[in-house]
């Protein structure tokens, strides 16, 4: 089916106690694995393309690939810009056909983050595309383990989240509740009470970044507490790379890229399916499609343009 925006699926997830998996892709095989896994699980899915992936493969190439593959399945698929920290990257992604955007102003002052996010939200909304913002900061574990004190100083407060939401008009909000980017081992326990308190104040879907390093049980609790979108990147990279290394180690004379590419793709798909099940998103696609189709029917009868 055609690409859809993330708005309806995340609102529905918030209201029905599950989360939509948002999976970062860096090549064709990963995009294929993510969409095939969603189809097999009958689940909504968000394919995420980061600024780094755009620098590597180009926003137009990724948008075209995701669009073509989405049209071959029956579940709703979103093409989302992940961590757009550059204004021009956000606009390029919008022009390329991305159906969901994120502006990450978390490195700015609170006031600057609000100001820039609000402007980008206005642009995105004028095109019928939802925008995700971020308040607090998700730390980066690439340089080594983070102490509890280091993690704590980045955490989002309910008061900050409410002010940011009210002043920017974003459609979803990434919050810092204990996770970290690029963690290679699942060891994090999230601040579940903080998620509950933020959800009580902020009436839009909440997003968790850095989920690859979160313990499964803590992730399940976070979804029950109010997280509606969960981002995975490192765990997919690990699945792809480990399968690739194993295949080439077992078959050192193998030179056909299709064969080891297919092996890596299957391992990524397996990982994506496990995460979709963990988030309780399996078989949620039909209900979301009903909402999307109803909205399209209403717009068409009003004579307006339909933007999914």
Longest alpha-carbon distance in the chain: 62
What are the structure tokens assigned to 210, written together? 């850095």
Q: Which residues are annotated as a binding site for Zn(2+)?
A: 83, 104, 134, 181, 209
Q: Who's near 126: CB < 8 A, 6+ residues apart?
A: none
Pairing state between β 101-102 and 77-82: unpaired
Alpha-carbon distance 214 to 191, whole Å? 11
Catalytic residue list: 82
Q: Who's near 179: CB < 8 A, 6+ residues apart?
A: 138, 188, 190, 208, 209, 210, 211, 213, 214
* Sheet strands side by side (includes 101-102): 77-82, 45-50, 20-24, 227-232, 206-208, 172-175, 131-135, 101-102
Distance of CA 143 to the CA centre of its chain: 23
Distance of CA 209 to the CA centre of its chain: 8
Among candidates 292, 284, 301, 239, which has minimal Cα distance to 264?
A: 239
What is the DSSP code (8-state) at residue 145? -
């Amino acid at each position: 089916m055609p690409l859809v925006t993330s708005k309806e699926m995340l609102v529905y997830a918030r209201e029905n106690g599950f989360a939509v998996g948002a999976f970062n892709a860096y090549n064709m095989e990963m995009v294929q694995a993510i969409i095939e896994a969603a189809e097999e699980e009958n689940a909504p899915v968000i394919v995420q393309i980061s600024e780094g992936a755009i620098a590597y493969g180009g926003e137009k190439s990724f948008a075209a690939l995701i669009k073509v593959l989405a049209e071959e399945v029956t579940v709703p698929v979103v093409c989302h810009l992940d961590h757009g920290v550059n204004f021009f990257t956000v606009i390029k992604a919008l022009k390329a056909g991305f159906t969901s955007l994120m502006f990450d102003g978390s490195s700015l002052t609170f006031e600057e983050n609000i100001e820039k996010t609000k402007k980008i939200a206005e642009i995105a909304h004028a095109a019928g595309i939802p925008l995700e913002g971020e308040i607090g900061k998700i730390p980066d574990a690439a340089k080594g383990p983070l102490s509890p004190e280091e993690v704590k100083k980045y955490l989002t407060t309910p008061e900050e989240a409410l002010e940011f939401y009210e002043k920017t008009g974003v459609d979803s909000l990434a919050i810092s509740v204990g996770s970290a980017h690029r963690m290679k081992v699942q060891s994090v326990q999230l601040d579940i009470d903080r998620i509950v308190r933020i959800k009580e104040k902020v009436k839009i879907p909440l997003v968790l970044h850095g989920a690859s390093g979160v313990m499964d049980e803590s992730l399940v609790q976070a979804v029950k507490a109010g997280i509606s979108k969960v981002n995975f990147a490192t765990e997919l990279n690990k699945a792809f790379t480990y399968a690739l290394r194993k295949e080439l180690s077992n078959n050192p004379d193998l030179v056909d890229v299709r064969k080891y590419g297919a092996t890596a793709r299957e391992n990524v798909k397996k990982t994506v399916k496990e995460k979709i099940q963990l988030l309780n998103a399996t078989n949620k696609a039909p209900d979301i499609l009903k909402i999307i189709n109803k909205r399209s029917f209403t717009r068409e009868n009003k004579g307006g343009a339909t933007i999914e």
